[in-house]
A and B are shown apart, each in its own frame.
Chain A
Amino acid sequence: MSLLEIKDLNKCFGKNKVLEDINLSIGRGSTLGIIGPTGCGKTTLLRIIDLLDNPSSGKILFNGVDITSGKDAMNYRRKMAMVFQKPIVFRGSVFDNIHYGLKVRGVDKESSTDKILKLLDSLNLSGYEDRDASTLSGGETQRIAMARALITEPDILLLDEPTANLDPSSTEQIEAIIEDLNKTKDLTTIIATHNLIQGQRLSDEIALLNHKIYQMGKPEEIFRKPRNKFVADFIGMKNVIKGEVIEHTPENLSIINLSGTNIYSASSLDGDVFVTIRPEDITVSHEKIEISALNELYGTVREIKVREIKETINLVQIVVEIHNSGLMFTVYLTRKSVIDLNITIGTSIFLQFKATAVHVFKSS
């Protein structure tokens, strides 16, 4: 059974629908990244999960128990802990701040001292216990916030853009803490972030949110197969093109018209669709060639740019304008291929890609 389940959840502020039909389920010990642009409803969703806000409709189930009504909210909040986007502390020392969650649970200072000092040590904050919490930097405050949340050993840790206000080195420290936490077997983490790279690196599963969940799954699956245009655009997919399925062949292929250029795909969808072809799945040649790839387009190179990927492999990004339709295709080639094929701006070339390399999805 999932530790946390969200069913058909909606939230409106006046006429403004902030969350729509949210359905999520998170297993114990896993990390879910909720990724979306600023203002997409991430914070609202986390606040609703932490019972700080009520949903307009829908259910939140904790260990199978419906906790939506807010009855017994305090006891369920005590099974969770949240780190907010804006670094904030209570008046008082770092120690007092971290002790707060224990204090409200009736644990006195003396019996929590060891635990707090140990936690501070593990977060590289040894010696901070007596410092006035309000004098700390943003990064330090956010690490204190992590400690304050973790000291109560929550079942669910909610992190709302924990690094959004931090400098790169503080961001790195917080990410390292989260990575360490991910190894903790029983801790379930939900991290909201607008940063796609951070979200996918820190999470077992990601949900792409923009008022509703556009896609949820393992990061690699979402990067391979975006299910709609929002996801494709958000993850920075190249070659996302609108088209229309005009025919299904007996070989289980479909022919899609892209502004006058027809291509084959292995999809079974109908009607208006979007297609995307990963730039590295496209090959180029000077001559028309007989290969297994069903799609062959002819165009002219309009742009050449060197892309540095992980500093080791130099890829060259070329943009090709397809004759007749004017569609622009982005293709990645190695530097060697570009030199061997003598590709320059204005060179006319053939592009080839397999029908299976064409990923097709509906517009929403």
Chain B
Amino acid sequence: MSEIINGFFNALQLLISLDPEVVTITLRTLEISLSSTLFGTLISIPLGGIIYFKTFKGKRVLINVIQTLYSLPTVLVGLLVFLLLSNEGPLGSLELLFTPGGMIIGQTILILPIVTGFTIIALSGVKDEIRDLAFSLGSSEFQTLRAIMREAKYALLGAVILGFGRAISEVGVAMMIGGNIRGFTRVITTTMALETSKGNVELSISLGMILLMIALAISVILNLIQEKK
């Protein structure tokens, strides 16, 4: 018990003193997760928009598949991207394995289903009348889609934040694609996994607290958005 309490106080000290290792790992984590959220958003929102807007055969099935992939195991994505990026793989020549770039690709793939799925849900929440209204006022299909997205902007932001939450908290892709190389691909979750297994709980606890603070920030932002709505 005393070990945990000591660990907690040492962790606080690491945080307050802005320990260089803690800062580096945190910044690297934010860099990778924010990048994958950005790329994921750039792909998912237009993709979700097209799926919502277009009528095609198998649309219902596609949406079901996307929803199933919400719980895509991170290690499975890790394995897939590993196979793609390894020397033998089709993208081996890019030399992205064990780099932040490779991790961003992995996390982007990981969050695509959840952001796409929640984009579709967000757009479905907009009344059909808005679509008719935009069309009747002379919008093109693209302009109408934009009008609908504007109506759903807070729900869309929620989808993006959800994607970010999934990216920053996952460990499978970060470990398998990043390789947990100190000062290069080491992020909060991989550090915690490694350091805890080594018995170095202070660093793990301080990083865990940072993750919790980020989660808290996400929750606050989401609540603010809800209130604004």
Interface 0/1 of A99-118, CB less than 8 Å to B: 01100110000000000000
| Residues from chain B with Cβ under 8 Å of A74 in the complex | 138-140
| Residues from chain A with Cβ under 8 Å of B134 in the complex | 90, 100, 104
Closest to A96 in B: B150
Which of B129, B138, B150, B153 lies in contact with A77, CB distance below 8 A?
Answer: B138
Which of B127, B132, B138 lies in contact with A104, CB distance below 8 A?
Answer: B138
Interchain CA distance A92-B150 in the complex, whole Å:
10
Interchain CA distance A34-B150 in the complex, whole Å:
34
How far is the CB of A183 from the nearest CB of chain B, in Å? 24
A71 CB within 8 Å of chain B: no
| Residues from chain A with Cβ under 8 Å of B143 in the complex | 104
User: With A88-B127, A90-B147 as given contacts, are A104 and B133 in contact (CB-CB < 8 Å)?
Assistant: no
B170 CB within 8 Å of chain A: no
Contact between A152 and B138 (Cβ–Cβ < 8 Å)? yes
Interface 0/1 of B71-84, CB less than 8 Å to A: 00000000000000
Which of A82, A86, A90, A105 lies in contact with B136, CB distance below 8 A?
Answer: A82
Interface residues of B in 176-210 (CB under 8 A from A): none
Interchain CA distance A104-B138 in the complex, whole Å:
7
| Residues from chain A with Cβ under 8 Å of B132 in the complex | 47, 52, 84
B216 CB within 8 Å of chain A: no
Closest to A83 in B: B136
A218 CB within 8 Å of chain B: no
Contact between A104 and B136 (Cβ–Cβ < 8 Å)? no
Interface 0/1 of B43-56, CB less than 8 Å to A: 00000000000000
Interface residues of A in 209-260 (CB under 8 A from B): none
A42 CB within 8 Å of chain B: no
Q: How many A-B residue pairs have CB under 8 A?
A: 54
Residues of A in contact, count (CB < 8 Å): 23
User: With A86-B129, A90-B130 as given contacts, are A50 and B151 in contact (CB-CB < 8 Å)?
Assistant: no
Interface residues of A in 118-146 (CB under 8 A from B): none
A81 CB within 8 Å of chain B: yes
B8 CB within 8 Å of chain A: no
Residues of B in contact, count (CB < 8 Å): 17
A194 CB within 8 Å of chain B: no
Interchain CA distance A322-B133 in the complex, whole Å:
56
Which of B133, B135, B138, B140 lies in contact with A88, CB distance below 8 A?
Answer: B133
Contact between A101 and B133 (Cβ–Cβ < 8 Å)? no
Interchain CA distance A168-B153 in the complex, whole Å:
36
Interface 0/1 of B136-150, CB less than 8 Å to A: 111110010001001
Contact between A104 and B150 (Cβ–Cβ < 8 Å)? no
Interface 0/1 of A78-99, CB less than 8 Å to B: 1011101010101110000000
User: With A90-B150, A90-B151, A91-B150 as given contacts, are A84 and B137 in contact (CB-CB < 8 Å)?
Assistant: no
Interchain CA distance A100-B137 in the complex, whole Å:
8
Contact between B129 and A101 (Cβ–Cβ < 8 Å)? no
A148 CB within 8 Å of chain B: yes
Interface residues of A in 58-83 (CB under 8 A from B): 74, 77-78, 80-82
Interchain CA distance A104-B139 in the complex, whole Å:
6
Closest to A103 in B: B143
| Residues from chain B with Cβ under 8 Å of A91 in the complex | 150-151, 153
Interchain CA distance A88-B133 in the complex, whole Å:
8
Contact between A50 and B140 (Cβ–Cβ < 8 Å)? no
Interchain CA distance A50-B134 in the complex, whole Å:
12
User: With A86-B129, A88-B127, A90-B130 as given contacts, are A148 and B150 in contact (CB-CB < 8 Å)?
Assistant: no
How far is the CB of A71 from the nearest CB of chain B, in Å? 13
| Residues from chain A with Cβ under 8 Å of B137 in the complex | 77, 81, 100-101, 104, 148-149, 152
21 sample A-B contacts, Cβ–Cβ < 8 Å, listed by A number: A50-B135, A50-B136, A52-B132, A74-B138, A74-B140, A80-B136, A81-B136, A82-B136, A84-B136, A88-B127, A88-B133, A90-B134, A91-B151, A92-B150, A100-B137, A101-B137, A104-B134, A104-B137, A104-B138, A149-B137, A158-B136
On B, residues with C-beta under 8 Å from A are: 127, 129-130, 132-140, 143, 147, 150-151, 153
